[in-house]
Amino acid sequence: MVGRGAVAAFAVLAFTGCMAHGQRTVPVAEVAGPEALRVVLVTTPQDFSEAVKRANPGDKIVLANGVWADFDAVFHAEGTANSPIHLVAETPGKVILSGQSSLRLAGNYLIVSGLVFRDGYTPRSEVISFRRDSNHLANNSRVTNTVIDSYSNPDRTQRDLWVGMYGRNNTFDFNHLENKTNAGPTMAVRLNTEESQENGHRIANNYFGPRPVLGSNGGETLRIGTSHYSLTHSGTVVEDNFFDRCSGEVEIISNKSGGNIYRGNTFHASRGTLTLRHGNGTLIENNLFDGAGEPYTGGVRVINAEQTIRNNYFKDLTGIRFSGALVIMNGVPNSPINRYHQVNGAVIERNTFDQVSSIELGEGSDSERSAVPVNSKLQNNIVLGKGGVNPFHLHDEVSGIAFADNLGSGGWPEAIASGFSKLESPTQIGERGWIQPSAGAGAVGPYGVALSATGVDWYPKASAASPFEGGAVVSLKPGTDVLFDALQEANAGDQFILEPGDYLESRIITLSVPVSIKAEDRGSARLSFERPQLFKLTGNGGLQLDGVTVTGRSAPDGSGNSLVGTSSSDGSNNHLLDLKNSRFEDFDVNRGFSVVAASKGSFFDRIDVENSEFENISGPVFKLDAETDDYGIYNAEYLEISDSSFTRIGKTVASVYRGGTDESTFGPHVLVTGSSFETIGSGDVPIMDLHGIQYVKFSGNNVIAANPVALTLTTGKPELDFSANKLDGAPADTFATTVDLRGKN
């Protein structure tokens, strides 16, 4: 590996004189090589192209510090094994590629280092591509020490890749990729021509920062191959990478080719699994899957033949079914290449499962997926279920898996019990109480990779702080357009405190950062607005309202008003909305007046409502049904309402729509607890209209004069919890009418 220090030292050599035309050539005689090393500093795209054209093995092209907007960079050159050609930043982290920029590599022995992509998105199908076009690939080349941060297409449905690897023997290491919010894997290894197969690529020591929930398929952090080429050998090594909150969809990694190795990686608080979706003969070893107790965190999902999973540590994983700590799928007999091939010859040995919620065997068993695992072994593992509860769930016949010499906490299903012995008192070491191997069972440490050994050291890794804190605290006095004026200059995490009195807003407030607006005392600040919307969330916009009374009385007399709306005009990251201790009244000047109305192409991570009142609202109160194309896309991952009241609501309280039948998402989720509802809807309008939902909890609520929740089930196995509700004073647990369309499409 080339040291980072060496790159910086070379760059310094370039600045020993003035630059008349933005380009200066400095021969460096003392560097040995087949040709004299030249260092060329460039300040314009034209000079860069010229320098690339004239580059010889051993040359170093240096991009001057500053912002390079709309830079369509092509690095097509021929280095040699001993004298690669470098493309480096003058100072690592000080060269920003923004706007509509991209970088394409083609040729041999190229090394790219020190760049940052942010404040824009690629106009091409990739940000960094290891090919110029389908006829010119890069081989034996490396991209290192480079950052791509939030460089997402503002249209969430537009697919692209941040990194596309083609060719052979390429390396992608010590990079930092964070916050991709549009469709398409963050990174993909492509095997679409013979020149990219048996590729020998190495993906190592990267920091894969948070990938927010996409709200549809296509949110993988890494994909290797596609179903079409899945029976070809890939031979990519993925090692010592840190996956931090990579939660775009059910697949953290979608492995769709053969002969890959995943070794020594850490998966931290990431939803979903490393999925062996297609292809055979892949090895997964020495990884740490640490769910940190977060929802839907999982480990490995096994499909296909000759897969080996050994010496991994699975810790605090709460996922079940497709996101279990270990999931062995059923296959489809004589499966087409894009469905599920039978598990055959899987070896799962010497792993430690420590406080995991589930291990699923024969998962997905149904009339189509009827081929049970065969010729497989599960041996010498330590398996400790969460809270001492047996984590194994058997969905079909498991006689094709030989269980032997495993240790665990007990309670095993009879069909597999002979392969287990009780681990009486596990030895634990370290602050986190790692379970030590015992009697030849369990994983031998160290597990995974340390965060500090990944990414770059000159760019901060993503924080876990609340988005509604950490900024300035600003006190505001009542008046007209006070919020509009104050929020023009708002920074992320600012908190605005409203002194008692009336606030009237005559303009729509566009919010592209998360802010908090709080009344000094609950109910003492009254807010009204004269436009069809008050807050329009865009970019990274988010809003917390605490203790505020909002009235719709001043809104225009037209249909479809809303307090909070969304727009992707300035980018559309995942939004957060937090309404608490607040009151919303008289949103009824016309029909279709919502508190929240999401537009197509926008997505809320969470809408939280707590201890708030809603009265006289024409509704729907929460309108989250703009994605009607049935592509598996939806508007909100979580709508969670607690300890709140809804009175005289014209339409439904919540309208949520998720169409499509793919099994790629965990949401949408709707949770409603401890709340009261009185006089909701007219005619047969349901209290809530939930289509394609994956999780519903409607529990401990008191309902008077309303129609049941309308559930339309379209895909998956939605979790439904209706308990302890009262309808018109009488117990009515299951307060829903269900239409089940599953298997009918």
Interface contacts to Ca ion, rule CB under 5 A: 217, 251, 664
**Contact present, 168 and 139 (Cβ < 8 Å):** yes
Structure-token pair, residue 471:
């900024």
Taking alpha carbons only, the member of 344, 330, 221 closest to residue 273 is 221
Least distance to Ca ion from the beta carbon of 249, Å?
Answer: 5
| Residue nearer to Ca ion on the CB measure, 70 or 629 | 629
Q: How far is the CB of 500 from Ca ion (least distance, A)?
A: 51
**Which C-beta is closer to Ca ion: that of 129 or that of 664?**
664
Residue 425: how many other CB atoms lie within 10 Å: 6
Closest to Ca ion by CB, 254 vs 380, is 254
| 382 in Cβ contact with 441 (< 8 Å) | yes
Q: How many CB atoms lie within 10 A of CB 146?
A: 29
Least distance in angstroms from the C-beta of 117 to Ca ion: 24
Q: Report d(CA 11, CA 15) in Å as an integer.
A: 8
The span from the CA of 97 to the CA of 146, in Å, is 11
Query: Shortest Cβ contact with Ca ion: which residue?
Result: 251
To Ca ion, the closest distance from the beta carbon of 550 in angstroms equals 39
Residue of 533, 509, 426, 516 whose CA lies nearest to 476: 516
DSSP code for 588: -
Q: Cβ of residue 334: shortest distance to Ca ion, in angstroms?
A: 23
**CB nearer Ca ion, residue 191 or residue 378:** 191
Nearer to Ca ion, 51 or 222 (CB): 222
User: Per the structure block, which two tokens stand in for 201?
Assistant: 């690529």
Nearer to Ca ion, 360 or 505 (CB): 360
Distance CA 112, CA 103 (A): 10
Smallest gap from Cβ 184 to Ca ion, in A, equals 10
Which residue's CB is nearer to Ca ion, number 223 or number 651?
A: 223
Number of C-beta neighbours around residue 338 at 10 A: 12
Residues facing 35 on adjacent strands: none
Record the tokens describing residue 428, joined without a space. Answer: 């634990």
Q: How far apart are alpha carbons 189 and 550 in whole angstroms?
A: 51
The minimum distance between CB 448 and Ca ion, in angstroms, equals 23
CA gap 565, 600 in Å, rounded: 11
- State whether the Cα torsion 280-282-284-290 is positive or negative: negative
Query: Nearest distance from residue 272's CB to Ca ion, in Å?
Result: 9
Q: Which is nearer to Ca ion, 286 or 664 (CB)?
A: 664
Residue nearer to Ca ion on the CB measure, 217 or 365: 217
Cβ count near 708 (within 10 Å): 18
CB of 652 or CB of 664, closer to Ca ion: 664
Q: Which amino acid is at 616?
A: N
Question: Please, which residue, 217 or 644, has the CB nearer to Ca ion?
Answer: 217
- For Ca ion, the closer CB: 173 or 251: 251
What is the torsion angle, in degrees rounded to the nearest 10, for the CA atoms of residue 121, residue 663, residue 667 and residue 543? 10
Residues, the chain: 745
Taking residue 382's Cβ as centre, other Cβ atoms within 10 Å add up to: 25
Phi, psi of 560 (to 5 degrees): 85, 25
Backbone Cα Rg of the chain: 28
**Nearer to Ca ion (CB atom), residue 390 or residue 664:** 664
Q: How far is the CB of 578 from Ca ion (least distance, A)?
A: 30
Q: Report in angstroms how near the CB of residue 664 gets to Ca ion at its nearest.
A: 5
Contacts by residues 433-440 (CB-CB < 8 Å, ≥ 24 positions apart): 434/313, 434/354, 435/352, 435/354, 435/382, 435/384, 437/350, 437/352, 437/382, 438/382, 438/407, 439/405, 439/407, 440/380, 440/405
Output the smallest distance, CB 145 to Ca ion, in A: 29
Q: How far is the CB of 5 from Ca ion (least distance, A)?
A: 40
Q: Which is nearer to Ca ion, 218 or 541 (CB)?
A: 218
Q: Which residues contact 517 (CB under 8 A, 6 or more apart)?
A: 483, 495, 496, 498, 543, 544, 545, 546, 548
- SS3 of 29-69: the string is CCCCCCCCEEEEEECCHHHHHHHHHCCCCCCEEEECCEEEE
- Measured CA to CA, the distance from residue 57 to residue 521 in angstroms comes to 69
Q: Would you give the distance in Å from CA 694 to the centre of its chain?
A: 18
Min CB(265)–Ca ion separation in Å:
19
Nearer to Ca ion, 616 or 664 (CB): 664
**Least distance (Å) from Ca ion to the CB of residue 248?**
9
What is the residue whose two structure tokens read 């469709």?
183
Q: How far is the CB of 223 from Ca ion (least distance, A)?
A: 8
